[in-house]
Amino acid sequence: MSAGMLAGIEAAPTPNEWNPVAPKNVLVSGITGQDGGHLAEQLIAQGDRVFGLVRGQHNPRKQLLELEFPGITVIEGDLTDPSSLIRAVEIADPDEIYNLGAVSHVGYSFKNPTLTEEVSGKGVLNFLEAVRLTGRTDKTRFYQASTSEMFGGLDYNRPGAGYDEESLFHPRSPYGVAKLYGHWIARNYRESYGMFVSCGILFNHEGERRGLEFVTRKITHGVARISLGLQDKLLLGDLWPKRDWGYAGDYVDGMWKMLQHHEPDDFVLASGQTHSVEDFVRQAFALVGIENWRDFVEQDPAMIRPAEVDILLGNPSKAESTLQWERKVNFEGLIKRMVDHDLALESSK
Ligand code: GDD
């Protein structure tokens, strides 16, 4: 049919026509983690049907998830098991997939590099293949959780205005390397099969749902316990590394916005500010009235990593202008929110 013959004819709605406010089927891996919790909350409030991929036999996190979000359908599956992902996709029939599942602790990835590669790297390929093999390349939008750890923070690779979508990658851990594979295979499926695949390159995002193994929550939890007389010392690794820290709830909204955009793309989500671990420690102690914080902090050699990312600073201009993404919580607000939460938690025990 020529272009002339099409003139004046209304295009028929295609099955792929997207309405951001219509309820959707959404499949989420990593739903028991920090970002999964924020995302589940947002999707349920919007009226979406949420399916959570949970791995392992009798995973205690499954019960906690079902208690917190009774409306969620739990599907047992594992990013390292392709057939379980095909089954999950068939059950959920998803309009959107958020691949948040990963070995996400950088220090742990040095001790378990092969597992990290299998889950955080090859797991992305397994999930994309599950979408392709079930014939959903035109139907399902896919979010890949990429990370600022892919940049590596080295001197020669550090732009003054912060890393953006065009910056060079130089990962410094098995985690960062695995995530870089995930990032590129996701882009490859977008280019090869025309899939709607978007990658969010997220800088550190924290909050009261954060696990105690990550430095911010370890600090706010320790500070709360020290101020209540429940703990004497806070054991930490290096205090000089700098990170670009934001609030996880704001960043999860950015992920959702990426999948509602009219075309797939990659976006940096960051605060555009960088602070050292020491800045975070000092401000957290100050909130409970302790100025002589050094008396309560000791170095734990076990927390030192074989290679460190010195400094991360992101430039979120593209997400701000294209997606109208905005942050509601700043650095000081984040620390206060976390300290207040941990004071309440520890006082109620
Ligand atoms: N975890 C931890 N525990 N980190 C410590 C400690 C400690 O006791 N003491 C100092 N640090 C330093 C780490 O060496 C690192 O430089 C910094 O604190 C932040 O560590 P984490 O909170 O573990 O986060 P991360 O920056 O390594 O990785 C997080 O952010 C990435 C995005 O940039 C994770 O959430 C990754 O999954 C995410 O991709």
Give the model's confidence band at 16: pLDDT under 50 very low, under 70 low, under 90 confident, else very high.
Answer: low
Is residue 114 part of the annotated active site? The answer reads no
| Closest residue CA from atom 28 of ligand 1 | 106
Q: Based on the residue annotation, tell me whether 220 is a catalytic residue of this protein.
A: no
pLDDT for the residue numbered 1: 35
Ligand 1 close to Cβ of residue 237 (< 6 A): yes
Tell me how far apart the alpha carbons of residues 199 and 266 are, in angstroms, rounded to a whole number: 5
Annotated catalytic residue: which of 143, 175, 247, 251?
Answer: 175
Task: For residues 188 and 306, give the distance between their C-alpha atoms in angstroms, rounded to a whole number.
Answer: 31
275-276 and 242-243 beta bridge pairing: antiparallel
Find the mean pLDDT for residues 153-159. 80
> 12-21, 130-139, 222-231, 298-307: which has the minimum mean pLDDT?
12-21
Q: How far is the CA of 22 from the centre of ligand 1 (A)?
A: 37
CA atoms within 13 A on the CB side of 252: 23
Nearest to 85 by CA among 37, 50, 133, 47: 133
Residue whose Cα lies nearest atom 10 of ligand 1: it is 237
* Ligand 1 pocket check for 149: Cβ under 6 Å: yes
Q: Where are the beta strands (DSSP E) in 33-172?
A: 49-54, 73-76, 96-99, 141-147
- Centroid of ligand 1 to alpha carbon of 80 (angstroms): 25
In the structure, what pLDDT confidence band is assigned to residue 161 with cuts at 50, 70 and 90?
Answer: confident
Closest by Cα among 217, 213, 255 to 109: 213
- Reading the block at residue 14, the tokens are 């295609």
pLDDT of residue 141: 98
> Within 10 Å of residue 219's Cβ, how many Cβ atoms?
26
Task: State the number of CA atoms in the 13 A half-sphere of 327 facing the CB.
Answer: 22
pTM score: 0.94
- What's the average model confidence in pLDDT over 6-21? 60
Per-residue confidence band for 210, with pLDDT thresholds at 50, 70 and 90: very high
Structure confidence at residue 6 (pLDDT) = 44
Q: What is the pLDDT of residue 8?
A: 40
Judge if the beta carbon of residue 245 lies within 6 A of ligand 1. Answer: no
Residues 198, 141: contact at Cβ < 8 Å?
Answer: yes
Average pLDDT of the chain, as a whole number: 94
Please compute the mean of the pLDDT values over residues 254-263 and round it to a whole number. 98
Q: What is the pLDDT of residue 293?
A: 98
For position 349, what pLDDT does the model report? Answer: 86
CA distance 2 to 344: 68
Contact between 260 and 18 under an 8 Å Cβ cutoff? The reply is yes
Cβ–ligand 1 distance for 267 under 6 Å, the answer no
Indicate whether 5 pLDDT > 50.
Answer: no
Predicted local confidence at residue 270, as pLDDT = 98
What is the DSSP-derived secondary structure letter of residue 72? P
- What's the gap in Å between 238 CA and the centre of ligand 1? 10
Distance (Å) from CA 106 to ligand 1 centroid? 7
Does the structure show a pLDDT above 50 at 36? Answer: yes
133 pLDDT higher than 60 = yes
pLDDT of residue 224: 98
Q: Does the CB atom of residue 238 touch ligand 1 within 6 A? A: yes
**Nearest atom within ligand 1 for CA of residue 304:** 14
- Does ligand 1 lie within 6 Å of residue 275's CB atom? no
Sheet holding 266-269, edge to edge: 73-76, 49-54, 25-29, 96-99, 141-147, 196-202, 266-269
Q: 335 is written with which tokens?
A: 């620390």
Does ligand 1 come within 6 angstroms of the Cβ of 201? no
Active site residue 147: yes
Q: Is the pLDDT of residue 132 over 50?
A: yes
First to last CA, the chain: 72
Compute the distance between CA of residue 224 and CA of residue 221 in angstroms, rounded to an integer. 5
How distant, in Å, are the alpha carbons of 85, 97, 128, 291 from that of 80? 9, 17, 12, 47
pLDDT above 90 covers a percentage of the chain that reads 90
Query: Residue 257: which residues within 8 A CB-CB, separation 6 or more?
Result: 319, 323, 324, 325
Position 237 pLDDT exceeds 90: yes
The band of 114, judged by pLDDT with boundaries at 50, 70 and 90, is very high
Closest by CA to 236, choosing from 223, 224, 254, 248, is 223
Q: Choose among 192, 219, 211, 190: nearest CA to 102.
A: 211
In the set 134, 147, 216, 274, the catalytic residue is 147
